[in-house]
Structure 1
Amino acid sequence: MKSTLALLLFSCLFCFSCQKEEAKEPIQKPNIVLIFADDLGYGDLGSYGAKEWQTPHLDQMAQDGAKFTQFYVPHAVCSASRAALLTGAYANRLEIFGALDHTAKHGLNPDETTIAELLKEQGYATGMVGKWHLGHLEPFLPGKQGFDSYFGLPYSNDMWPHHPEAKDYYPPLPLIQGDSTLEIMDDQSLLTSRYTEKALEFIERNQDQPFFLYLAHSMPHVPLYVSEKFQGKSPQGMYGDVIMEIDWSVGEIRKKLKALDMEENTLIIFTSDNGPWLSYGGHAGLTGGLREGKGTSWEGGIRVPAIFTWPGKIKSGIVQNQAAMTVDILPTIAAITGSNMPQLPIDGRNIWPMIQGEQQEEKPYFAYYNRNELQAVIYGKWKLVFPHRYRTLPEGTVLRNDGIPVQYTHVNLEKAELYNLEIDPAESKDVSEANPEMLAKLQGYAEEARKDMGDALTGSEGSGMRKHGKYESPD
């Protein structure tokens, strides 16, 4: 099923799997812990400006390692963002769009190579805890994508009968262990704690071999729930309580690694799948002054916190201002573990030098949304946003603090706009007229991407597209 034609047609500009820097000798064979929050905003951590709640463990991680200030997801929505993270390829290339729900008859194609599959070839134990969201049917669950164990939810935690706007649409929410339903979730107050317990058990069980743990928290995606030990801990309210419990979870993992004398042989990565869901008001996070939020390709939707720590290998106190993206995580892990790169072309590159505080040659990154709309291209401090329709909260909207969303309105961006993110991260001033050469450069990158991955906004057909996995009923 793997297409030879796709390999031949793929543009070398975006195929970083064939670059020599990916083939470096491994530094050592470390354990990898990848923690992925859900809807966590750029401004939700103390080290990124949060003041209404405390995140001491994540702030310590930032002090101990490398904190990125311009780190992106390529898609500001759940399933697409997760596909890109685990495969190192833009999700639109893989035909994964939006957020898959219980009606989806497809998922991530088993032909794609995930981080887990990459590391299993190196003898790693692989475990996944938390939100999967890449296909809820058995052929698409984590066990079919390289994970030895799985405990978590198959999709978002609001896809259940208690959804505030779709009470009769979703079925009971299954908590899955392996590939079977363990129980039906009707109360999520212990979800973060249970995820943490399972993560700690995995670490303890695999302390005598290299392991990869993917911990994908279901929160702070709504509905918000928190255990008794964190209720009322934040003066902000429920959202702050939830963030503080996630921070506690990170602290527990670091404590366990230290107790087992594994801290110096473990790379921990913490980031988020997209920005905050702003229509939920007090149950949504902070953009840190960035424009818009989840579900948009403005900075508030796609720029997320990213922290990397590995004592002895990553210097403490690094603040990296160069642009990078979640598609870079797979090739970086491949480089530091000496793993083979996926056979199918991917889009990320090894950013290990960047994590160590060095600068690398700038490369273009792309923001896609909806069904394959190329909405923006980022190149270093520059960002070009193309005409498209996006959602926003009407001026003067009164937000709620009870888990009930207000309604978005939709507006059209009528012409392409260029922003200098170094001086204008809020994307408030179009500088395209003053920078025609940079405008033309980013438009050129966009044209190459359209030839490769297509673009619904311009009617472009991409030559490097692949198919998602399609469910075939045994009946």
Structure 2
Amino acid sequence: MLGILMMTSCQNGKKQTRQETEEEPSKPNVVIFYLDDLGYGDLSCYGATEIRTPNIDGLAEGGVRFTDGYATSATCTPSRYAILTGMYPWRNKGAKILPGTAPLLISTTQKTLPKMFKSQGYATGIVGKWHLGLGTGQIDWNRHISPGPNEVGFDYSHIMAATQDRVPTVYIDNGDVVGLDPEDPIEVNYKENFEGEPTALTHPELLKMKWHHGHNNSVVNGIPRIGFMKGGEAAKWKDEDMADHFLEKAQQYVKDHKDGPFFLHYTLQQPHVPRTPHPRFAGKSGLGPRGDVILEADWVIGEFMKTLEEEGVLENTLVIFSSDNGPVLNDGYVDGAEELKGNHDPKGGLRGGKYSLFEAGTRVPFITYWKGRIQPRVSDALICQMDLLASLAKLAGTEEKDTDSEEMLSVLLGESDKGRESLVLEATSRTAFRKGDWVMIPPYEGPALSKQVNIELGNADEFQLYHLTDDKEQQDNLARSEPEKLKEMVTGFEAIRGKDYGTTEQLELK
């Protein structure tokens, strides 16, 4: 009888524990889709009429679509640094567009988004573009490469070292080049070519894609690149297969980690140059290769979302979608992006673009989606990718302090419209200031227009002050007619950027 009672008691105890476990909500998975050079107006859910992006639209229609979502910077490396560290990139003088041979930009002792997730029991992975440097100096591509993504918090990494238009044109899996033949070692140099190796200048007959500016070094798969590379033939990627390749790795990551909380940073290469759509998408957009790779990216996201559903984790996954900076059409190759755009406006009515301090440089598509948890809405809250560190820390059950990241979980989930009060924006080491509905750009030397890429950079010999609610296109400079507001903006800017930036002195000179 005693044995029966003990057995019943144990069984009841197990049952109670199981019920408590079932009732206790599990930590949600987090996926960040991070696109490359996608503009505020490149998606139909953001007003594009010449191109349809139904899968991304589905995220927007079922989640929160932000109208005031920002990258920190108008170029890729700084934005990627900020989203992973929660820090303004201008605090790190090395946070500029990096060559493929640059050392790791993020310190292995820094706080990072993947480290935070790991501390809370998450598996952490990155698939796609990296462009934050590797190693500590001269890289030997034929040996294990460290430090890299794995040393700043990612359990798993399957990446390209820099960008699709830069050498080395190989995939790197957890620090090792994929498919490398030891008898054909890789050599990379960004200053001089290797003797006898063809380039776009010496062998133009090898090209299937013409270069416009800056892309006339080594030729891989008929595409001229930035930098020189020798060897590694068996390891070189096929550009047209890149989207499928990274999709397969991302899908497999979900399948391998569906039983526990995971964080996946899925960094797509589209629509960065060179634009090399798979034959399934070539010519489908009517806007040239740039439009085609946007359609390809939309399809990829749709396929990945199907995987989340098929693996039974969709309703326990927060999905975040954004881009590292604004759009550029001609960014080094002659691919018809400018000539074939027709009525499509990648800027979405904003001024500027990639490299620019005007709004189109840093204001980007920003969407959050969580099936069954987030209620569909449009939010005008001011929010930045840098805020993901503090916000997702709260979601994971912890907190992150002593960074520039602001905790905005309720904003991300569509439960609040109280976003940031202010934000410092950056473009190629120049900075501007957004506060409320106003943006201030200090005077900067340099050309007003980059003729190479046909983008207004925001440089002027006087202060610029715009009220964005009334002047989305930033055509009416109110710096002279609103001196008190200008002074207030300069004061707020210096409180964050530092007095030594010299903005007050510039103001007094004016």
User: TM-score, normalised on structure 1?
Assistant: 0.81
Q: CA deviation at 1:73?
A: 1.4
Q: Find 1:183's aligned residue among 215, 231, 235.
A: 235
Alignment CA distance shift 1:27-1:379 (3 Å):
farther
Alignment CA distance shift 1:173-1:310 (3 Å):
farther
Q: Which amino acid aligns with 2:424?
A: F
Alignment CA distance shift 1:323-1:173 (3 Å):
farther
Structure 1 segment 427-438 matched on structure 2, within 5 A: 427-438=474-485
Q: Which amino acid aligns with 1:147?
A: F
Q: Which amino acid aligns with 1:156?
A: T
- Range 318-327 or range 434-443, more displaced: 434-443
Q: Which residue of 2 aligns with 1:178?
A: none
Cα distance in structure 2, aligned partners of 1:276 and 1:173: 32
Q: Which residue of 2 aligns with 1:368?
A: 426
Q: CA deviation at 1:358?
A: 1.9
Q: Which residue of 1 aligns with 2:417?
A: 359
The secondary structure found in structure 2 opposite 1:41 is coil
Q: Which residue of 2 aligns with 1:339?
A: 398
Q: Is the 8 A contact 1:388 1:457 kept in 2?
A: no
Q: Find 2:319's aligned residue among 263, 268, 285.
A: 268
Structure 1 segment 167-206 matched on structure 2, within 5 A: 167-168=216-217, 170-172=227-229, 183-185=235-237, 187-206=238-257
Structure 1 segment 141-290 matched on structure 2, within 5 A: 141-160=148-167, 164=211, 165-168=214-217, 170-172=227-229, 183-185=235-237, 187-280=238-331, 282-283=336-337, 286-290=346-350
Q: Is the 8 A contact 1:27 1:337 kept in 2?
A: no
Q: Is the 8 A contact 1:37 1:217 kept in 2?
A: yes
Q: Is the 8 A contact 1:109 1:140 kept in 2?
A: no
The secondary structure found in structure 2 opposite 1:368 is strand
- Range 223-232 or range 199-208, more displaced: 223-232
The question of 1:443 aligning with 2:500 is answered no
Cα distance in structure 1, aligned partners of 2:309 and 2:273: 32
Q: Is the 8 A contact 1:189 1:226 kept in 2?
A: yes
CA-atom RMSD in angstroms: 2.8
Q: Is the 8 A contact 1:224 1:283 kept in 2?
A: no
Q: Is the 8 A contact 1:322 1:380 kept in 2?
A: no
Q: Find 2:116's aligned residue among 115, 118, 138.
A: 118
Q: Which amino acid aligns with 1:300?
A: A
Q: Which amino acid aligns with 1:450?
A: R
Cα distance in structure 1, aligned partners of 2:403 and 2:91: 9
Q: Which amino acid aligns with 1:116?
A: P
Q: Is the 8 A contact 2:64 2:368 kept in 1?
A: yes
Cα distance in structure 2, aligned partners of 1:459 and 1:219: 42
Alignment CA distance shift 1:135-1:455 (3 Å):
farther
Alignment CA distance shift 1:357-1:381 (3 Å):
farther
Q: CA deviation at 1:393?
A: 4.6
Q: CA deviation at 1:456?
A: 8.0
Alignment CA distance shift 1:125-1:391 (3 Å):
farther
The question of 1:455 aligning with 2:462 is answered no
Q: CA deviation at 1:263?
A: 1.1
Q: Is the 8 A contact 2:60 2:367 kept in 1?
A: yes
Deviations 1:213-249 (A, max 9, x none): 0011112110001112212211222111100110111
Q: Which residue of 1 aligns with 2:10?
A: none
The secondary structure found in structure 1 opposite 2:475 is coil
Cα distance in structure 1, aligned partners of 2:329 and 2:292: 18
Q: CA deviation at 1:66?
A: 0.1
- Range 235-244 or range 103-112, more displaced: 103-112
Cα distance in structure 1, aligned partners of 2:231 and 2:375: 42
The secondary structure found in structure 1 opposite 2:280 is helix
Q: CA deviation at 1:362?
A: 4.3
Deviations 1:420-464 (A, max 9, x none): 111211111012344444322211111112328x6387899xxxx
Alignment CA distance shift 1:189-1:392 (3 Å):
farther
Question: How many residues are matched?
Answer: 414
Alignment CA distance shift 1:407-1:441 (3 Å):
closer
Q: Which amino acid aligns with 2:124?
A: T
Task: Considering Cα pairs closer than 8 Å and 6+ residues apart, tell me whether 1 or 2 has the greater RCO.
Answer: 1
The secondary structure found in structure 2 opposite 1:139 is coil
Alignment CA distance shift 1:456-1:123 (3 Å):
farther
Q: Find 1:292's aligned residue among 352, 367, 370.
A: 352
Q: Which residue of 1 aligns with 2:34?
A: 36
The secondary structure found in structure 1 opposite 2:367 is strand
Cα distance in structure 2, aligned partners of 1:214 and 1:128: 5
Cα distance in structure 2, aligned partners of 1:388 and 1:132: 30
The question of 1:426 aligning with 2:473 is answered yes
Deviations 1:300-335 (A, max 9, x none): 11110000001222112x111121111111111111
Q: Is the 8 A contact 1:222 1:283 kept in 2?
A: no
Alignment CA distance shift 1:369-1:94 (3 Å):
same
Q: Which amino acid aligns with 2:475?
A: S
Cα distance in structure 2, aligned partners of 1:146 and 1:132: 14
The unaligned stretches of length 5 or more in structure 2 are 1-23, 136-144, 168-198, 201-209, 218-225, 339-344
The secondary structure found in structure 1 opposite 2:498 is helix
Cα distance in structure 2, aligned partners of 1:240 and 1:197: 22
* Superposition misfits of 4+ residues, deviation over 6 angstroms: 407-411, 456-460
Q: CA deviation at 1:410?
A: 7.2
Q: Is the 8 A contact 1:90 1:347 kept in 2?
A: yes
- Range 235-244 or range 298-307, more displaced: 235-244
Cα distance in structure 2, aligned partners of 1:192 and 1:314: 29
Q: Find 1:46's aligned residue among 44, 69, 72.
A: 44
Q: Which residue of 2 aligns with 1:107?
A: 105
Cα distance in structure 1, aligned partners of 2:422 and 2:357: 15
Q: Is the 8 A contact 2:448 2:460 kept in 1?
A: no
Alignment CA distance shift 1:406-1:125 (3 Å):
closer
The question of 1:381 aligning with 2:433 is answered no
